[in-house]
Every structure is written in C-alpha cells, then in structure tokens.
C-alpha cells in the first residue's frame, strides 16, 4: 500500500477532534467531516482550544500549532472523503449509527485500497466491516482520551481484516503518529476496557450502596494504590454514557453480572449527568 498521507476523521467530538489534532500534528493532510456546518465549526473550536492549551503549557510552539490547524479541513461535505487513504470513524458509540457511517463510507471513498478504521470502544469491528464491500480493509483503531496526550492505540482485527491492513495500520500508528500499540482480537471491550470497565462499575456500586462517598473512593485509589485518577473521576472523564455503552456491550457478549451497568449509572445518564462534558457526574466541573 502507498504511504498514507491523506486522512480523514468522521465526527468532531472530543475523540474525533483529538484524533484530527494528532493526525495534523503528524503533518498529514486531514479532513474532519461532520453532520452539518455548525457541528464542523464546533469541531474546529475544539481543536483550536486544544492546540492553544498545548502552546500555553509549552508542549508545542505557536508556529507548529498554527501549521497543524492549517492542515485540517472542517466540512460537512462527504465528497471531501473521496480521495482519502485512511478514514477513522469517531461518531457516537451506537452500533446503528456506526453501521450507517461505514455503509456510506464504502460508497464515497474511491480508493479500493483505502483503510476504513473505527475508534469504537467496544462494538464488534466485524459488524461494521460487513456493512461494506471491503471488510478486509476495516479495522479497529482505538485511541484513548485525551488523544494528544495518551500514548496508546489498540489495533483490533476482525475475522475478515487482512494481515496487510493490520500491518499497515500498526506501522502508521507507531511510525507516523508515535503511538504505542497493543493488539486485540475482535471481542467486546478489547484489552483495556475489558479490564477497566468492571473496575469502574465496582466503584459505582460502592458509591450506590452508600459504603463510601465518591470523594473517598477516588482518594482511596489515588493515595492508596498510586492511581493517577480515581475510578469515578475517570468515569466522568470518559463520559458516563460511554461507560454504559461499553458495559452493555460487555454484558451482551459475556453475560457476566459484573458487566451490567448499575441502576445509579443508568439514572445519571438518563438525567444528563454525563461527567466532565456535562459539568456534573460523580463530581462537579466548570463548564466551557
């Protein structure tokens, strides 16, 4: 396969914007495609704010940040994806929505050698690949939040993903993006979330039972186990709606009671208490 230099991200939310920033900082020709012009504008704002923070913290200089932003086209026009060599889907963690995206990508991306990747946290990669006529070119490329900071990417191969596709994506993630890679078969939760989410749910159950407060649970794991962040603060960072989605995928596949989302977690999501992105979860956060 030719060297990848024309890339795209579908979805400009927290994860999509972070992925786009990393791609652009790697000096790649990057397109961010959103549902409409308003959403595309919000995606630009997210990337701009993140780059500005990187400059303020001394992680990059202003010319580099401005160059990265200049390499990204923010659009609602799907035709802008036609010549892409790699497209990373980063829309909401919903199987139906993601399947529709892959069916559409199969029609609009012209290069039959192009790789279609999903940033899903837990959904079956094969199901998304089967929505296309090129399931051998579909792969999981799971980044972690915040994408510009976190060094890990999971490469997830389905029963249809070709060895060449997996090798190309792994080389791209390591040699071009500078990420470390762990490999996973196509099973719910992959490696990281299959280990992490039951731990987060256990913390929710502890808070739900009244056994300990959210603050004490997080302090216990931070100060007693040297974790950089407590489990409930981490769930807030991930997004409680995303935690529920991952837990549901794990439970659907394995039917283990420890994977079932606790009632408190479901109620919080129903109430719009989603964590950092809503300003309130197990802890409170400033908005904006």
The residues assigned a catalytic role are 121, 142, 154, 193
Longest Cα–Cα distance of the chain, Å, equals 57
Looking at the DSSP bridge assignments, the partners of residue 141 are: 155
Question: Whose CA is closest to 31, among 56, 12, 54?
Answer: 12
Which residues neighbour 29 within 8 Å (Cβ) at sequence distance 6 or greater?
A: 5, 6, 7, 71
The DSSP secondary-structure symbol of 229 reads: S
Enumerate the β-bridge partners of residue 182. 154
* DSSP letter assigned to residue 280: B
Laid out side by side, the sheet with 152-157 consists of 72-75, 29-33, 6-10, 86-89, 115-118, 138-143, 152-157, 180-185
Q: What is the DSSP letter of 130?
A: T
3-state secondary structure at position 107 = helix
Beta strands in 72-146 (DSSP E): 72-75, 86-89, 115-118, 138-143
- Complete DSSP assignment for 133-164: S-GGGEEEEEE-SSTTT--EEEEEE-SS--HH
CA 130 – CA 136 distance, rounded (Å): 9
């Amino acid at each position: 396969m030719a060297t990848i230099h024309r890339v795209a991200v579908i979805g400009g939310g927290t994860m999509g914007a972070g992925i786009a920033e990393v791609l652009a900082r790697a000096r790649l020709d990057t397109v961010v495609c959103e549902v409409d012009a308003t959403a595309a504008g919000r995606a630009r704002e997210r990337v701009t704010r993140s780059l500005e923070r990187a400059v303020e913290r001394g992680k990059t200089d202003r010319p580099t940040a401005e160059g990265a932003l200049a390499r990204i086209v923010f659009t609602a026009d799907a035709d802008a994806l036609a010549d892409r060599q790699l497209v990373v889907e980063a829309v909401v963690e919903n199987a139906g929505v993601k399947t529709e995206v892959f069916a559409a990508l199969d029609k609009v991306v012209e290069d039959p050698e192009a790789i279609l990747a999903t940033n899903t946290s837990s959904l079956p990669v094969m199901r998304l690949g089967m929505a296309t006529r090129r399931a051998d070119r579909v792969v999981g490329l799971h980044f972690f939040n915040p994408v510009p900071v976190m060094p890990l990417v999971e490469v997830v191969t389905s029963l249809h993903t070709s060895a060449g596709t997996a090798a190309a994506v792994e080389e791209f993630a390591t040699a071009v993006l500078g990420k470390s890679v762990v490999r996973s078969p196509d099973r719910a939760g992959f490696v990281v979330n299959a280990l992490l989410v039951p731990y987060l749910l256990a913390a929710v159950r502890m808070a739900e039972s009244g056994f300990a407060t959210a603050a004490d649970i997080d302090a216990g794991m931070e100060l007693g186990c040297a974790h950089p962040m407590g489990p409930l603060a981490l769930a807030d960072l991930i997004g409680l709606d995303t935690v529920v989605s991952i837990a549901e995928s794990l439970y659907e596949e394995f039917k283990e009671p420890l994977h079932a989302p606790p009632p408190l977690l479901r109620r919080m999501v129903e109430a719009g208490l989603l964590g950092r992105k809503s300003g309130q979860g197990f802890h409170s956060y400033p908005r904006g």
